[in-house]
Amino acid sequence: MKLPLPILLLLAGLALLVEPALANKFETISGGVNGSFRLKREFVQTGLLAGGGGFLLGALLAVVIPRTNAAFLNFANWRNSAIVMGVIGVLLLVSWLFV
């Protein structure tokens, strides 16, 4: 279903009008986050460590039990799944070191 050009322009204009109101709302919300730099850094490091460990665990499981885990891209591509999850896991853990 194609929308006529005037309706598309109206929707685009509406999005431009609503955007500043949302920006102010989110700015207010983010301005309310309090805490020391150490606590915020610890929160990010914990997320990166858990994510990296989870992806590396998934990569290990892709190699140990191939063609039996539905979490992989599909049952035939377990090697590709292991490589992708391993690379993402390593990237997350390396970024954990630099935060």
Same domain? For 41 and 78 the reply is yes
DSSP string, 47-59: HHHHHHHHHHHHH
DSSP conformation class of 99: -
Question: Which range marks the domain in which residue 26 is found?
Answer: 1-34
Number of domains present in the structure of the chain: 2
DSSP string, 2-26: PPPHHHHHHHHHHHHHHHHHHHHHH
Sign of the C-alpha dihedral, residues 66, 72, 74, 76?
A: negative
CB 51 within 8 A of CB 92: yes
Same domain? For 40 and 68 the reply is yes
Tokens of 1: 């279903």
Identify the pLDDT of residue 1. 57
Same domain? For 28 and 44 the reply is no
State pLDDT tens for residues 22-68: 555 544 445 555 567 777 788 889 999 999 999 999 889 888 887 77
